[in-house]
Chain A
């Protein structure tokens, strides 16, 4: 197998006394599209934030994160990196995190700040070539009409597409998406997932998405990594994530969680399987 794109080794993280991540390890190889699933509070978002260094693991715990052969953090300390290396990873947030008062075009151009000469990036001097590229990225997400609008005038789905265009502008090899569709209506959610899956297929990008909805994960992803109470609960082909395993995963979770997971299939069977479901980690693929 080729060199893994993402390597996570025994990651531990606590907020106060609450352990959010408990000895999590996995690898992602180039070109995979991985769904990171689990009930609310299981640590999926925290895990994803560790991958780009937005959050640091516990000190002296020996946890390590490596992306494309570059160490992001080890033992709770961030490694300094050049901008040209950092911009190889794109990140999409649940709350979009665009700059509301800037235009759509400028928000997309921000994706190129990391790879521009320093002086130009500080002055915000973008070249015509960069503008053309930004327009092309916006065209790919279907927003070429709204180039000059302020970002905060867009709908949620449109904002998320601008965020994706920003990642395209970065030309990132790895795309990490943290609940990209959790705050969107069903139609926008489908559009966003279609765009992400197209980028994965056409550009061969490695994609890791945290998802609430298991049916969405099943439709778009080949592999699933599931967390439960901060531990790796399942890691394998999405087909092996059987209904029984899912029920055990979402056991004790709120009703919303179950609805989001499997609208009709699981609810009636829930009580029957509840106590018999396997709790141990399923065989990992890698």
Chain B
């Protein structure tokens, strides 16, 4: 019994060792190729250590004179994230159903998926710049930018949940004579809802982080203060703004995480 078992295991390592070597070769070439492209020069960190120490020194101590103004701006940022996420959820639900290959024919889900890919591929900042031109400076432009990008992300994540769902309950409802939409409302949504909620909350967290920089391109919120203080070399003010962002983002992340745990 032992010879037929050991025999194949002896012949196996040879091709595997060869492919492993090739794998390592590919990994190392990609890394060095990227190193050159990214102009990695760690030496600069040491050379310019004095400059950086001076710059870092400018940040401390933070000045708290404008704190209430920064908190106000941070609240606007949160408001942008709330509406950007909510609009995205509302639009992503139907879009995700149209992206799912177990619900619609290919000529519906293929174009729909490409459309969602496009929404996702372009960063919020780019959309914000476009919307600033369209609707003017301010938080509304930022909200729309978040909304478009998050729709692309959520539609993909939602549709993945839909495609992983069990077809049985839907068949069970189909044979009772119910229509296609009832089949989705009663047979599909209850299955995917916990995951959908969790994904939406996670998106809300990352939308808050994204919303903090929208102001840099005119999209409103705390990013405006970030941009203005940095351009005016008021690094002590910048430090205060950054601390406000860190506290707010951490707090909301923790709250949302708690909420998410309830649904999984």
Contacts and interface: CB of A to CB of B under 8 A. Distances in A.
A266 to B, nearest CB: 34
Interface stretch (A6-14, A114-122, A132-140, A269-277): A114-122
A101 B191 contact: yes
A114 B169 contact: no
B172 A113 contact: no
A5 interface: no
Interface of B: 168-169, 171-179, 181-182, 185-187, 190-191, 193
9 contacts: A54-B175, A86-B176, A91-B176, A93-B172, A97-B172, A99-B172, A100-B169, A163-B172, A166-B172
Contact of A102 (B176, B178, B190): B190
Given A98-B169, A98-B172, A163-B172, A121 B177 contact: no
Given A93-B168, A99-B187, A100-B169, A113 B182 contact: yes
Contacts of B179: 83, 113-114, 118, 121
Interface string A80-106: 000111111111010111111110001
A111 B182 contact: no
A224 to B, nearest CB: 24
Contacts of B169: 97-100
A89 B178 CA distance: 12
A93 B171 contact: yes
A237 B179 CA distance: 38
A124 B185 contact: yes
Interface in A106-150: 106, 110-111, 113-115, 118, 121-122, 124
A83 B177 contact: yes
A104 to B, nearest CB: 13
The SS class assigned to the B binding surface is: helix
Contacts of B168: 93, 95-97
Contact of B171 (A84, A97, A101): A97
Contacts of B185: 122, 124
Contacts of A113: 173, 176-179, 182, 186
Contacts, number: 83
A163 B176 CA distance: 11
Contacts of B186: 99, 102, 106, 110, 113, 124
Given A113-B186, A124-B185, A170-B176, 11 more contacts: A83-B177, A87-B178, A91-B172, A98-B169, A99-B172, A99-B173, A99-B187, A100-B191, A101-B190, A106-B186, A118-B179
Greatest chain B CB density within 10 A among A93, A97, A166 is at A97
Interface residues of A, number: 33
Contacts of B182: 113, 121-122
Contacts of A124: 185-186
Across the A-B interface, the 7 shortest Cβ-Cβ residue pairs: A114-B177, A87-B177, A97-B172, A86-B177, A113-B178, A91-B175, A97-B168
B173 A84 contact: no
A192 B236 CA distance: 76
B230 to A, nearest CB: 49
A205 to B, nearest CB: 15
B171 A114 contact: no
A52 B177 CA distance: 10
Interface string A203-234: 00000000000000000000000000000000
A122 B181 contact: yes
A111 B176 contact: yes
Contacts of B190: 99-102
A113 B172 CA distance: 12
Contacts of A89: 175, 177
B192 to A, nearest CB: 10
A121 B172 contact: no
Contacts of B172: 91, 93, 96-99, 110, 163, 166
A170 B177 contact: yes
